[in-house]
Amino acid sequence: MKKQLSTQFKDAGHLCKWLLISIIVGTLVGSAVAWFLMGLEWAGNFRDDRMWIIWFLPLGGLCIGLTYHYLGQNVVKGNNQLLDEVIKPSKVIPLRMAPLVALGTIATHLFGGSAGREGTAVQMGGSIADQFSKVFKLDKAERKLLLIAGIAAGFSAVFGTPLAGAVFALEVYVIGRVQYQAILPAFLSAIIADQVCIQWKYPAIINHTHYLHPDALGITPANLFFTFLAAILFGWAAMLFSKANHFWSALFSKKISYPPLRPFIGGIILALAFWGLSLTSVDFTKYIGLGVPVIESSFTEKMMPYDFALKLLFTSFTLGAGFKGGEVTPLFFIGATLGSALSLFIPLPLALLAAIGFVGVFSGATNTPIACTLMGIELFGAQIGVYLGLSCVVAYIFSGHSSIYSSQILGHVKHPSLKDDEDKALKDTHS
């Protein structure tokens, strides 16, 4: 009995310690993300009212490139740097990562680059959280938990999805394994960060996007078959996006030795591409920035088959050239528009196809099927949970050993023939 009471007191002390840490991390990260979202909203509104600013995209890229070259070389790896530190802790992530990536992302959106916001929020969360590893005298194992908590807080706050944010942080750095040792700080930090970010909505005008909830659909063999078929395509789209990201990044690194010139030249090419589209009947403004209005329209209107392809191309090129921002909202765009376009061939409701594409492509590109299923339920409702889950799992399988995060560890191979790659980082595999 005495031993049991002693264990319970230790558990209570552990709970209080991580509750305190999670309150601090959640509050700071939730507040930082709220201010980042305000800046992002300002940049988007300013750009939309003055579309001529897109022609200054090369100048914006040069400024971002110079800033990172002279001030941010030790944080330039972004999300992969966070994953590296979670896997093999070595040194505290510099706090400068947070303001640099926030300002770089706002600049990217201001000048019309095609990018997201999740990567920025996650980097902000991880770098802010890591500053407390010395304050609380955490060892390497505990520092891992702290970094996971920061990632969970950033993801949760930027999308308003605390369950998905927590599980994403637990699931993302080792493919096929959920890191239960960090479950308490991840969930606490995610919930607190989400609630803190919500409070910052007043008086500021920050609103998480509320998407249409598709109607419930009966579970029949035909409906499951067509969902499976669509999910295969979502997995292939996710693989294509991941490989395009890495291709453009490698190409710019190989061809342009001076890093600040990469986004400058990339900005010239993007501006010319937008100008070329402006001469056609295609509205190029759909593919700049986050593209949230197009995502929302995908649930009620049939999108053109080329919409997902152009967003995939512009986003992978923007980020590969060295502009800053996340990949996840563009993945939502790619998935939702692809799902919407598939309604021309697949006899499932339009809104359902957009929803399962929204989370399916995200799942395939990040290898986080459980988190993506939860995100789908948080955003679209549990009435289509079976279809969301099936889409995420199948897309995860069919995306192969690819990812937007090259530092992910392959904890569980997706096919027995690739067993030799197990426990390696994706960047070191042969797949």
51: pLDDT confidence band, cut at 50, 70 and 90? very high
Q: How confident is the model at residue 76 (pLDDT cuts 50, 70, 90)?
A: confident
pLDDT at 1 over 60: no
257: phi then psi, degrees, rounded to nearest 5? -75, -30
Rounded mean pLDDT of 375-383?
Answer: 96
* DSSP string across 24-46: HHHHHHHHHHHHHHHHHHHHHHH
User: Quick check: 418 pLDDT over 80?
Assistant: no
| Predicted pLDDT at 201 | 65
Q: Is 195 exposed, middle or buried (0-12, 13-18, 19+ CB in 10 A)?
A: middle
Q: Which residue has the higher pLDDT, 255 or 416?
A: 255
Other beta carbons within 10 Å of 267: 29
| Helix/strand/coil for 404 | coil
Task: Please give the residue that has the higher pLDDT: either 57 or 4.
Answer: 57
Q: What is the pLDDT of residue 10?
A: 60
Residue range 170-214, pLDDT digits in tens: 999 999 889 889 999 999 999 999 999 998 865 444 567 788 899
Q: Are 372 and 392 in contact (CB under 8 A)?
A: yes
Kindly state the average pLDDT of the residues 61-84.
91
What token pair was written down for 323? 């502009």
Distances (CA, A) of 405 to 42, 324, 401: 29, 15, 11
221-400 CATH, one of 1.10.3080.10, 3.30.530.20, 1.10.150.80, 3.40.50.300: 1.10.3080.10
2-199 CATH: 1.10.3080.10
* pLDDT surpasses 50 at 50: yes
| Rounded-to-integer distance, Cα 286 and Cα 281, Å | 12
pLDDT of residue 11: 67
User: What are the residue ranges of helices labelled H in 256-384?
Assistant: 261-278, 292-297, 305-320, 328-342, 350-366, 369-380
Mean pLDDT of 365-386: 97
304 confidence band (pLDDT: 50, 70, 90): very high
pLDDT in the model for residue 3 = 55
Q: For residue 252, what pLDDT is reported?
A: 97
pLDDT, tens digit, 9 for 90 and up, residues 137-173: 898 999 999 999 999 999 999 999 999 999 999 999 9
Which 8-state DSSP code applies to residue 295? H
Residues of the chain with CATH 1.10.3080.10: 2-199, 221-400
356 compared with 198, residue with greater pLDDT: 356
CB 412 within 8 A of CB 176: yes
> Would you say residue 392 has pLDDT above 90?
yes
pLDDT at 248 over 50: yes
In this structure, of 47-61, 84-98, 115-129, 412-426, the range with the lowest mean pLDDT score is 412-426
pLDDT at position 205, please? 46
Tell whether the model's pLDDT for residue 431 goes beyond 60: no
Contact yes or no for 113/152 (Cβ under 8 A): no
In contact, 40 and 109? CB cutoff 8 Å: yes
Helix (H, G, I), strand (E, B) or coil at 289: strand
Distance from C-alpha of 11 to C-alpha of 5, rounded to nearest angstrom: 10
Average of per-residue pLDDT values in the chain: 92
Judged against a pLDDT cut of 80, whether residue 5 lies above it is answered with: no
